[in-house]
Structure 1
């Protein structure tokens, strides 16, 4: 078995039957962006690092970032946020749209590309 069979992050397009298995959560976001741009299909998170959702007591986007930001030196990766939000029934696209909206109101910031911090 390859290491990708045990990858902590797996995203799939149910319409195309394509998937991405990766160690890096932000690769899921990049896969979503590319795939949606080309096909218009949403990508779903099939598997994500199991211990993340247990650490988050609230399902609001800003609260998710706030509760996880101490675990990451340079901000919470978008892919981690998307994985936790997916556990709460929010799609990757909806999560990225909400990230944009909350950033524009000043509730979140990007200490580096595709990583978030909460004020």
Structure 2
């Protein structure tokens, strides 16, 4: 998937991110998604803060490689 062609307009839940930090938003959404926060919800929430999809995907990769988050099922994330 290339992110430069996608523009999220709204999320499927009633949530407004108060931060542009991927890990912070992930923490705030975790209670709503016991199986992990779907990447689409996370990218849509961060889009409202001016963060591009490619930036979110890069952040997720870095956080995973640093052992700060994990992916319990494909494309769903939780903080360790």
Which TM-score bucket, shorter chain as reference? Answer: 0.7 to 0.9
Contact 2:20–2:51, Cα closer than 8 Å, also in 1:
no
| Structure 2 counterpart SS, 1:84 | helix
State the 4+ residue runs in structure 1 displaced beyond 4 angstroms.
Answer: none
Give unpaired runs (5+ residues) of structure 2: none
| Structure 2 counterpart SS, 1:47 | coil
Q: Which protein is richer in strand relative to its size?
A: 1
| Structure 2 counterpart SS, 1:80 | helix
Residue of structure 1 aligned with 2:48, choices 63, 67, 87: 87
Give unpaired runs (5+ residues) of structure 1: 1-32
Which protein is bigger by CA-based radius of gyration? 1
Match for residue 21 of structure 2? 60
What are the within-5 Å matches in structure 2 for residues 1-119 of structure 1? 33=1, 36=2, 41-49=4-12, 51-53=14-16, 56-119=17-80
- RMSD (Å) for aligned C-alpha atoms: 1.7
How many residue pairs were aligned? 80
Alpha-carbon distance, 1:50 to partner: 5.5
Contact 1:42–1:93, Cα closer than 8 Å, also in 2:
no
